[in-house]
Amino acid sequence: MAKVLVLYYSAYGHIETMAYAVAEGAKSTGAEVVVKRVPELVPDEVAKASYYKMDQAAPIATVDELADYDAIIVGAGTRFGTVASQMRNFWDQTGGLWFAGKLVGKVGSAFTSSATQHGGQETTILGFIPTFLHQGMIVAGLPYAFQGQMGVDEIKGGSPYGASTITDGDGSRQPSAIELEAAKYQGAHVAKIAAKLG
């Protein structure tokens, strides 16, 4: 049985929702799944003034625990075409794991969100892949076997690089049914790969 960590950063709750969908997909394979988040770097008063979602129940992860999992699925919103600094800061502290080769052979995958359809979703996920590769991880995305990412019948996130959602500029759009299905599919896909490697 694979042990999977869904590790996320969510300022407004969109990625949090996606993270639990990813976890649901991974659990559907029989995997042991843990959902955690990275620490917030924004001071509380600024976060509150910016209407950040402050009531997230997922516990805070530690860098050292990453080595305990067979797969790590990372979720964070895009910031100007790259991953949010809170997630970047967390992974920038993994030098000790890298030095000891603690993540070599584990599966890495990523999902994201942006305000607009072309708001840097693909560059955010693609930009995080080198981190997985530097750690010696095996990268998995959202294969086109998930047909929900095809077609133009509705506005939707998702690419072969990973699941995603579009939030609108004011954050009013929540992940759609098809975007949540993509997240579940990705979670199951990663968990199955991790189980085969185990």
User: Under a CB-based contact definition with an 8 Å cutoff, are residues 24 and 187 in contact?
Assistant: yes
| Distance in angstroms between the alpha carbons of the first and the last residue of the chain | 8
Q: What is the pLDDT of residues 134-190, one digit of tens each?
A: 999 999 999 999 999 999 999 999 999 999 999 999 999 999 999 999 999 999 999
Q: What is the pLDDT of residues 13-57, one digit of tens each?
A: 999 999 999 999 999 999 999 999 999 999 999 999 999 999 999
Which one has a higher pLDDT value, 189 or 198? 189
Q: How many other CB atoms are found less than 10 A from the CB of residue 102?
A: 16
Q: Which residue ranges make up the annotated binding site for FMN?
A: 10-15, 78-80, 134
Strand, helix or coil for residue 114: strand
Q: What is the pLDDT of residues 62-107, one digit of tens each?
A: 999 999 999 999 999 999 999 999 999 999 999 999 999 999 999 9
pLDDT of residue 198: 85
Distance CA 93, CA 6 (A): 18
Domains of the chain are 3-195 (3.40.50.360)
Q: Which residue ranges make up the annotated binding site for NAD(+)?
A: 12
Q: What is the pTM of this model?
A: 0.97
Q: Which residue ranges make up the annotated binding site for substrate?
A: 98
Q: Which two tokens stand for residue 170?
A: 């004011």
State the greatest distance between any 2 C-alpha atoms of the chain, in Å, as a whole number: 48
Q: Which residue ranges make up the annotated binding site?
A: 10-15, 78-80, 98, 134
pLDDT at 114 over 90: yes
